[in-house]
């Protein structure tokens, strides 16, 4: 009987069968390099040198000069603005006494600051400026209009307006403060500033009312303020009378100087 070699036993498959066209020889790989690194963690190729931002020193001389001048101008402008704003609210000193007019011309009206919100005596009143007119009717008679709340008109124009004008915010308020600060309790003007404040108030009122009002021609105007204290919060024990107090000015006769240029006759 002839000796026969036993047939080799079939081996268990150790991995997926290779697809057609794939190499059958597997190269040894490092398990840590294949299993621990997430997909997409390979280092990105460095950008070519042409895509890098050139430093300032590589720019041409004219470009460097333009950038340097622009930076210097911006720095000087910022220093001037901050200095003027500081001197405007600082106590009187040598600079403000000598250059106070120039500082005020720069600061007002766009960069004005009002510190009454903080100290030492916060403003705790709502002050509304109102006006009415005496008109000449078409039949030759006279009539008096009702009071018009000019401050409320400014407030309505500012409400929900992200960029209100300086005129809407401050013109009427500052004009009234100018008048109050230059008149005594009997409404007598104190020097030239008092007369100027009256002219300023009249022109603002006529600009708001116009030459014609309620079907008649405006001949005289009267201005008053309505001051109402702000009520304390509910948790406060402070007691304040919130009754509105009026300060009524005398009647002013309207002249051609009080009329806007476009409405003069």
pLDDT computed for residue 264 by the predictor? 44
Report the 10 Å Cβ neighbour count for 165. 12
pLDDT computed for residue 262 by the predictor? 46
Domain boundaries, the chain: 61-107, 120-263
Question: Helix (H, G, I), strand (E, B), or coil: what is residue 7?
Answer: coil
pLDDT computed for residue 172 by the predictor? 94
CA pair distance 74, 91, nearest whole angstrom: 28
pLDDT, tens digit (0-9, with 9 covering 90-100), for 88-128: 888 888 888 888 888 888 888 778 776 665 656 667 889 99
Closest CA to 203 of 218, 186, 215: 218
Tokens linked to 237: 């024990």
pLDDT computed for residue 188 by the predictor? 93
Residues in a beta bridge with 127: 227
147 contacts 131 by C-beta, under 8 angstroms? yes
- Predicted model pTM: 0.59
pLDDT computed for residue 77 by the predictor? 95
Q: Residue 215 — left, alpha, or beta (φ > 0 → left; ψ -120 to 50 → alpha)?
A: left
Residue the block writes with tokens 């590589």: 58
Q: For the chain, how long is the longest CA-to-CA vector?
A: 153
Tokens linked to 207: 């600009």
């Amino acid at each position: 009987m002839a000796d026969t070699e036993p047939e080799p036993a079939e081996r268990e498959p150790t991995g997926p069968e290779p697809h057609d066209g794939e190499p059958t020889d597997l190269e040894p790989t490092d398990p840590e390099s294949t299993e621990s690194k997430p997909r997409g963690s390979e280092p990105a190729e460095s950008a070519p040198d042409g895509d890098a931002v050139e430093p300032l020193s590589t720019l041409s001389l004219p470009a460097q000069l333009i950038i340097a001048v622009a930076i210097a101008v911006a720095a000087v402008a910022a220093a001037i603005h901050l200095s003027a704003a500081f001197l405007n609210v600082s106590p009187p000193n040598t600079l403000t006494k000598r250059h106070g007019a120039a500082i005020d011309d720069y600061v007002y009206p766009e960069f004005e600051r009002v510190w009454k919100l903080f100290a030492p005596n916060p403003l705790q009143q709502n002050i509304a400026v109102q006006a009415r007119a005496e008109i000449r009717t078409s039949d030759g008679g006279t009539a008096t209009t009702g009071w018009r709340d000019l401050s409320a008109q400014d407030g309505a124009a500012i409400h929900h307006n992200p960029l209100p004008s300086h005129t809407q915010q401050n013109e009427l308020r500052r004009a009234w403060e100018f008048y109050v600060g230059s008149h005594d309790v009997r409404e007598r003007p104190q020097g030239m500033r008092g007369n100027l404040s009256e002219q300023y108030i009249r022109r603002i009122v006529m600009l708001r009312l116009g030459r014609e009002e309620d079907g008649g021609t405006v001949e005289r105007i009267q201005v008053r303020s309505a001051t109402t204290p702000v009520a304390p919060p509910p948790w406060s024990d402070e007691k304040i009378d919130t009754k509105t107090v009026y300060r009524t000015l005398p009647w002013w006769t309207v002249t051609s100087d009080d009329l806007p240029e476009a409405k003069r006759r």
